Structure 1
Amino acid sequence: MHSYRFAQCEVRPADRVLLLDGVPAALGARAFDLLLCLLESHPHMVSKEEALNRVWPGLVVEENNLSVQVSALRKVLGSQAISTVAGRGYRFSLKLQPPAVTATPSVAQGQPTIAVLPFSMRSEDHRVQLLADGLAEDVIALLARVPGFLLISHASSFVFRNQPATLPEIARQLGVRYVVEGSVRALDTTLRVSTQLTDAASGHVLWSGQFESAPDATGDLQDAIARGVISQLEPELTRAEIAHIRRQRPENLDAWAHYRQAIGAITLKGWGEASLNEARQQLQKSVALDPAFGLGHAHYALLTALARNLGMLPDAAQAESEVLQTAERAIALDEGSAEVLGYTGCALCDIGRHERGSAILQLALEIDPSNAQAHVALGAAQGMQGQLAEGIARMRLGMKISPRDRRLGFWGWALGCFLLRVGNNEESLTEARTSVRRDPTFYLARVLEAATLDRLGRDDEARQALAAARKLRAPLSLQEITLTHGKRISERLARYWGAAS
């Protein structure tokens, strides 16, 4: 996909990012949409009406909203970047450089993309909500097995639950052409599921269907819904046999509540020691209430492996044994869940069981090729085993198919570490700073930023980045940096240690 280059800037539409000297700039979604609109029309003027329709599709807004976004762009790009055509509109005034192509590893250009939004629940029964979420996730997994198009991970599409965004806005943020929506309604003795497939750009409903089932026979719904969607995407999609995918959900709703609180601890508080401990405690409560909850065991294994590798647990050997035992138990409980296999495979790789862990991750992707976490974890495992180019490409793919994922800050740091290892210093710096922007509390991204700046000979900036990391994590030590970034980087950063305190 083409990017736009001008002055010291680059705009990457596919990634929805503006780079200033290679560093992502803070730019709101409306301002970015307006910038794209101006760049696409360059050197011609964009009328105010056209800009309003493009940036606020389907909404009636005051013209001063447009002025606010123009002002925001001028603050970032300079006052000369956008010219006002009095009473008519705006024009992008800077000279564009010849178009550059940004690579998208392992993803065919022009490949149709689809997002399945969370199904709405029309019932007060919490079990219906679990069914609605499970059904949407299963439809994602089923559709992802059909060759010919790209499924957006549920970790990104579910961000739009109860959000007032329009379909065109959702499509632009996720980079999709099609959207599947649905609802689940509980009647007296029947569950009714309504779904529709929509062309996101035009809003045209391509297909809709309604399915009814007894509450204890919902498994057949996945096949009917997925086949209805697939039949409307021909001839872009090839025909494929759809297999049923069963997901084990906890019988105890309190167990599920603790699981959600564990996720919330990381989402709201970042990847620090306190939040990891809180999340692990919530997961322990979850599986204590429901010992057969495979996903709870799997997530606990992963976070325990992570805490061990970050030097946050006192007994690394004991933690390794706990990870191995918990991961294998999760697999035994729910070997058909791509999510369980994704977490456990990553955990096993994190404790050095690369052969077993990689095999589990491959199985997770066979079940659900849209599992972004499994792609990233398998890419990291490949990188750790010396397959750096292949691993980096797979990590990028995982991040691409889940552009709104809560874990992107962590994944970007891991990707940046591998980029630094192969000598792509500027790309590593970009990933580090993007990770900081996504999660300002994530101290490891600051350590990577310091290491990369040191590699580039920018000592003062490296010292500042290391100081920021130590401010975020007071107990940070060179020994921890050796664990997370390697001995060579630890020795290099030791030069700044006194000045960065």
Structure 2
Amino acid sequence: MQEPLRFDRFELRPAERLLLVDGAPAPLGARAFDLLVCLLAHRDRVLSKDEMLAAVWPGLVVEENNLSVQVSALRKVLGAQSIATVPGRGYRFALPVAPLDEGVAAPVPRPAAASKTTLAVLPFQVLSSEPGLQFLADGLAEDAIALLARVPGFWLISRASSFAFRGHAVSVPEVARQLGVRYVVEGSVRPQADGVRVSTQLIDAATGHVLWSGRFDRRRAEAADLQEDIARGIMAELEPELTRAEIAHVRRQRPENQDVWAHYHQAIGSLAMQGWSREAMQEARARLRHSVALDPSFGLGHAQYALLTALSVNINLQPDAAGLAADALAAAQRALALDDGSPEVLGYAGCALCDLGQREPGVALLQRALDLDPSNAQAHVAMGASLGLGGQLAAGIEQMRFGMQISPRDRRLGFWGWALGVFLLRAERAGEALAEARTAARRDPRFHLPHVLQAAALLQQGHGAEASAALATARQLCPALTLKEVGLSHGRSVAERLAPLWAEGAA
């Protein structure tokens, strides 16, 4: 169902995945939105629970209580009388519904702190009369829309709306006014001798300022699927820049204006801007607690909190770990109960469970995340780490490397590189471990653990003086670091080998 509908005080715009209440965006999770669309598409009859489960969780086996949770979420937004329960049969949408003419639908007001951040991908320009390039350009814009729709925290304007500007000389600020967006993605395609060049820009819609630009050259003969190859290249660069731009925007806001997604992006920004330090982790977890306090049904916030809390326990980035493991487990379970069909939620929760010692259910969640989205870099890295912890070092290292390769500008590369180096050291590949540790330290200069890893790798190679210097750097970055914590993060054997250098440094 794609046609917009009106009922009571609400408007549903399926193409934009948007529910409005009195003209403003209503807070609604992804599963609840899908359930609403399903109920409205079949509003002339009673829907069985099996039908609804199949429509909202396609291809997944889920408990019936997940359906009850989403029905309850809808009733909180729409009113208790909006969905009728038919005992023994299922549910039926109970409000009168009328079609809405999409052509005259008013632009949606989207204050900066009222909803997710809005984004439009405009049709890519073709700088040539060569036949076939228009199809490539349109396909790239469509792929960019589909891929960006997976990025948590952003509303994507539908293709039908953004492509309406094709052939019209309209400024970016005017596009922003008409579509109600904060960011615009533009692009162009031009032929080269034996390939194509695609240029893209991320633009602040209100000012027209270019926040990021990228250029992608591809030889047609080298790409089995030229369009997909270019689209994924664009996304690998664009997604972190979009997140970085939003973090900067949120930091300029007044604290009292920050909403659920603002706090979520602030949590990401804490680690991206400050590195993996105790202070940054404390701030990130506090931001996530604010986020889920504002919206307890925010599954992604619970999942991210579970992961960061579990990591805090494992690498001792929180001075008081009492009760944190149980806190992380409860958050992961809450996230899964709210939204177990999101690859991001599954990836974060699965990694959290693995870090908490529940490897079997954690790996199952990570596999489901990858089944739903094979490009989920975090899930690949977490799956590789879980394989390494299970003794499959070669397979785990390969999968971790793959996850890092498909997200080459990821804000988490410093942490991931350190973790990869730890497994390389366990596999007796000290040279590779040292290289990863040095790269991780450059990516995140405030993160102390890559320097511990450098010390271990250098010592294994017989470079005692350099190892001692690296360990001293780690202790300068984290004065509270203990040898016991080194054993927890790098393994007991590493701590035992570093003990003499540790004693020398303390003397």
TM-score (structure 2 length as normaliser):
0.54
CA displacement, residues 309-366 of structure 1 (integer Å, 9 cap, x when unaligned): 1234466562221111110111121222211111111111100111111111111111
CA displacement, residues 213-238 of structure 1 (integer Å, 9 cap, x when unaligned): xxxxxxxxxxxxxxxxxxxx986579
CA displacement, residues 22-59 of structure 1 (integer Å, 9 cap, x when unaligned): xxxxxxxxxxxxxxxxxxxxxxxxxxxxxxxxxxxxxx
> What residue is the counterpart of 2:401 in the other structure?
396
After superposition, the Cα gap between the structure-2 partners of 1:184 and 1:358, relative to the gap in structure 1 and judged at 3 Å, is farther
User: Are 2:303 and 1:311 equivalent residues in the alignment?
Assistant: no
User: Are 2:433 and 1:433 equivalent residues in the alignment?
Assistant: no
> What residue is the counterpart of 2:119 in the other structure?
132
**What one-letter code is carried by the residue in structure 2 that aligns with 1:187?**
Q
Q: Report the secondary structure of 1:441's partner residue.
A: coil
The farther-off stretch of 471-480 and 126-135 is: 126-135
User: Are 2:455 and 1:450 equivalent residues in the alignment?
Assistant: yes
User: Are 2:337 and 1:332 equivalent residues in the alignment?
Assistant: yes
After superposition, the Cα gap between the structure-2 partners of 1:190 and 1:482, relative to the gap in structure 1 and judged at 3 Å, is closer
Q: Report the secondary structure of 1:352's partner residue.
A: coil
Contact 1:464 1:500 in 2 (8 A): no
Contact 1:375 1:397 in 2 (8 A): yes
After superposition, the Cα gap between the structure-2 partners of 1:133 and 1:317, relative to the gap in structure 1 and judged at 3 Å, is farther
The farther-off stretch of 382-391 and 123-132 is: 123-132
Distance 1:431 1:457 in 2: 18
> What residue is the counterpart of 1:492 in the other structure?
497
Q: Report the secondary structure of 2:287's partner residue.
A: helix
Distance 1:200 1:335 in 2: 43
User: Are 2:267 and 1:262 equivalent residues in the alignment?
Assistant: yes
CA displacement, residues 416-458 of structure 1 (integer Å, 9 cap, x when unaligned): 0000011111000000001111111110000000000111010
Contact 1:140 1:154 in 2 (8 A): no
Q: Report the secondary structure of 1:187's partner residue.
A: helix
Distance 2:289 2:179 in 1: 37
After superposition, the Cα gap between the structure-2 partners of 1:340 and 1:198, relative to the gap in structure 1 and judged at 3 Å, is farther
> What residue is the counterpart of 1:290 in the other structure?
295
Identity %: 50
Map of 1:89-108 to 2, 5 A cutoff? none
Q: Report the secondary structure of 2:445's partner residue.
A: coil
Distance 1:141 1:386 in 2: 40
Picking from 178, 190, 197, the partner of 1:187 is 178
> What residue is the counterpart of 1:367 in the other structure?
372
> What residue is the counterpart of 1:411 in the other structure?
416
After superposition, the Cα gap between the structure-2 partners of 1:139 and 1:489, relative to the gap in structure 1 and judged at 3 Å, is same
> What residue is the counterpart of 2:487 in the other structure?
482
With a CA cutoff of 8 Å and minimum separation of 6, indicate the structure with the bigger relative contact order. 1
After superposition, the Cα gap between the structure-2 partners of 1:454 and 1:142, relative to the gap in structure 1 and judged at 3 Å, is same
Distance 2:188 2:470 in 1: 47
* Pairwise CA distance, 1:260: 1.2
Structure 1 residues without counterparts, runs of 5 or longer = 1-120, 145-152, 159-182, 208-232, 239-251
Picking from 319, 344, 347, the partner of 1:342 is 347
CA displacement, residues 51-108 of structure 1 (integer Å, 9 cap, x when unaligned): xxxxxxxxxxxxxxxxxxxxxxxxxxxxxxxxxxxxxxxxxxxxxxxxxxxxxxxxxx
After superposition, the Cα gap between the structure-2 partners of 1:200 and 1:480, relative to the gap in structure 1 and judged at 3 Å, is farther
How many equivalent residue pairs? 311
Structure 2 residues without counterparts, runs of 5 or longer = 1-106, 123-139, 155-173, 201-222, 229-256
Contact 2:342 2:369 in 1 (8 A): yes
After superposition, the Cα gap between the structure-2 partners of 1:266 and 1:184, relative to the gap in structure 1 and judged at 3 Å, is farther
Contact 1:123 1:186 in 2 (8 A): no
TM-score (structure 1 length as normaliser):
0.55
Q: Report the secondary structure of 1:461's partner residue.
A: helix
> What residue is the counterpart of 2:41 in the other structure?
none
Distance 1:404 1:329 in 2: 30
Distance 1:359 1:141 in 2: 29
* Superposed CA RMSD: 4.0
After superposition, the Cα gap between the structure-2 partners of 1:496 and 1:206, relative to the gap in structure 1 and judged at 3 Å, is closer
* Pairwise CA distance, 1:278: 1.0
Distance 1:466 1:422 in 2: 21
Q: Report the secondary structure of 1:132's partner residue.
A: strand
Distance 1:410 1:326 in 2: 22
User: Are 2:411 and 1:420 equivalent residues in the alignment?
Assistant: no
Distance 1:258 1:324 in 2: 21
**What one-letter code is carried by the residue in structure 2 that aligns with 1:365?**
L
> What residue is the counterpart of 1:461 in the other structure?
466
After superposition, the Cα gap between the structure-2 partners of 1:138 and 1:322, relative to the gap in structure 1 and judged at 3 Å, is farther
After superposition, the Cα gap between the structure-2 partners of 1:435 and 1:189, relative to the gap in structure 1 and judged at 3 Å, is closer
The farther-off stretch of 447-456 and 364-373 is: 364-373
Map of 1:189-208 to 2, 5 A cutoff? 198=189
Q: Report the secondary structure of 2:323's partner residue.
A: helix
**What one-letter code is carried by the residue in structure 2 that aligns with 1:132?**
L
After superposition, the Cα gap between the structure-2 partners of 1:348 and 1:437, relative to the gap in structure 1 and judged at 3 Å, is same
CA displacement, residues 236-278 of structure 1 (integer Å, 9 cap, x when unaligned): 579xxxxxxxxxxxxx961111111111111111111111111
Structure 1 runs (4+) deviating above 6 angstroms are 121-124, 133-138, 188-195, 199-203
After superposition, the Cα gap between the structure-2 partners of 1:276 and 1:260, relative to the gap in structure 1 and judged at 3 Å, is same
* Pairwise CA distance, 1:371: 1.1
Q: Report the secondary structure of 2:455's partner residue.
A: helix
Map of 1:229-240 to 2, 5 A cutoff? none
**What one-letter code is carried by the residue in structure 1 that aligns with 2:262?**
A
Distance 2:374 2:342 in 1: 12
Distance 2:342 2:386 in 1: 20
